[in-house]
Structure 1
């Protein structure tokens, strides 16, 4: 049985072409990407040891080996951070190991900060996608999309299970990769049970495939097709609330047309009140 660490290394090896690393093309290969022997040589380890890591038979590679594999695969800083994280959870801190569920309460100081952002577009969320608090402008932006229809709105569930999400997010594939990736960063007893019992059965292979690919998202410009008509382009600034395992996400119009469209969406019903899910 594989491990998150082994799956990630194998996925990155399969997606790396020899010519990208300056290696000669040796003709037809049984599988796409980089040969296991080429990666082992570049990392300074044996093919047998690399095979054990990829197949999950070695769950505790040393820091030196992990760094050597990162160097050999030319991983980006974000991919290196993910590799280190997967090494940690593969070595014993698996997806059910943390005793506390992700907190759903938003601290008063965070709520006050969110209030100061009115009438801007902002929300507080956690790694499994719960929308815990939002500004009135965020409500206006998502009105009619179905995202906030639930008493406990969850962005991950919405992306993978609501057909409206595929038209709302112009780059749905990228957003789906983001939500799947973030599930790796929020493991706990509660979130793992939610994933296995509630999300995975209804999300199906789209989610499972993206989880196993371990694609580190770029999180670029967010393009939305609002049900009322306008096409929106938004920039995102994410503030990590590390102590709370939450994030404060601010959405900024990327152009004047979006700013005008957001203004028209916001004013008809904006009442200046925060919405909090507890």
Structure 2
């Protein structure tokens, strides 16, 4: 049985072409990417030890070993943070017998006050599972008709993977799917992530499970939306992390003039709809 840490190391090794690290291509391989022996040599560890890590038989590598693997894999800062996180949960916090529990949904008053100040802009408060906990009227305008807020307890991750309308709404659906799957590793707790993944996997299928185990660090570029009115919106995103709440306040801004004009028209159309909405 593998482990999140081992899966990530193996996935990164398979994705690296030897030439990109200045290594010679020694011919045909049984598997793609970098040989295990090459990675072990670059990291200064034995092939046998690397094999144990990748197969989940060693779940407590030391900090120097983790740093050496990060260097050997040429990980960027985001990938290094993810590697350290996976090391932490693999080493003890990620118990296969942990009791699955749903996440908390409480939103602190000051956070709601901050969200109100953003009206009538486009903003939402969510957790890493994708639960939309509160949103501005601008967010409702942008998503109205796409189905995201139709549920009494909307969840962006579930919407992306199970609602056919999501594939039409998100112009770059694959990128958004990668983001939502990746963020589950940073859920409020490991138990929360296990609970949600267990609930979602049977209905979302391999599109979800393959991404969850692939550990692809998403690009998070401009968000392109095919709005139900026929307009294409290009939005940049600014994210405020709320670590003590395990929540994120995400603000969406027009990335070009055409989008800014389209958003003004949407606000005029929906000016009679209510302001900030809190979803309990």
| TM-score (norm: length of structure 2) | 0.96
Structure 1 residues 117-266: aligned runs within 5 Å: 117-186=118-187, 187-196=189-198, 198-266=199-267
Structure 1 residues 90-101: aligned runs within 5 Å: 90-94=90-94
Shift of 1:194: 2.9
C-alpha contact (below 8 Å) 2:101/2:195 kept by paired residues: no
C-alpha contact (below 8 Å) 1:78/1:216 kept by paired residues: yes
Shift of 1:36: 0.3
Which is worse superposed, 103-112 or 130-139? 103-112
Match among 271, 274, 277 for residue 276 of structure 2: 274
- Residue 10 of structure 1 is matched in structure 2 by 10
Name the SS for the 1:14 alignment partner: helix
**How big is each residue's C-alpha offset from its partner over 1:29-69, in whole Å with a ceiling of 9 and x where there is no partner?**
11000000000000000000000000001000000000000
- Residue 61 of structure 2 is matched in structure 1 by 61
Distance in 2, matches of 1:209 and 1:129, equals: 18
Name the SS for the 2:93 alignment partner: coil
Distance in 2, matches of 1:228 and 1:70, equals: 46
Name the SS for the 1:106 alignment partner: coil
Shift of 1:101: 5.0
Name the SS for the 2:41 alignment partner: helix
**How big is each residue's C-alpha offset from its partner over 1:147-169, in whole Å with a ceiling of 9 and x where there is no partner?**
00000000000000001101110
C-alpha contact (below 8 Å) 1:126/1:247 kept by paired residues: yes
C-alpha contact (below 8 Å) 1:95/1:192 kept by paired residues: no
Shift of 1:89: 0.4
Which is worse superposed, 123-132 or 96-105? 96-105
Shift of 1:98: 8.9
- Residue 85 of structure 2 is matched in structure 1 by 85
Shift of 1:272: 5.2
- Residue 117 of structure 2 is matched in structure 1 by 116
**How big is each residue's C-alpha offset from its partner over 1:66-100, in whole Å with a ceiling of 9 and x where there is no partner?**
00000000000000000000000000111675998
Gaps of 5+ in 2: none
Distance in 1, matches of 2:139 and 2:130, equals: 15
Give the number of equivalent residue pairs. 277
C-alpha contact (below 8 Å) 1:121/1:251 kept by paired residues: yes
Residues 13 and 183 (structure 1), Cα distance of their counterparts in 2 relative to 1, 3 Å cut: same
Which is worse superposed, 250-259 or 90-99? 90-99
Name the SS for the 1:238 alignment partner: strand
C-alpha contact (below 8 Å) 1:60/1:91 kept by paired residues: yes
Shift of 1:264: 1.0
Shift of 1:212: 1.0
| 1:28 counterpart = 2:28 | yes
Name the SS for the 2:45 alignment partner: coil
C-alpha contact (below 8 Å) 1:102/1:188 kept by paired residues: no
Shift of 1:267: 2.0
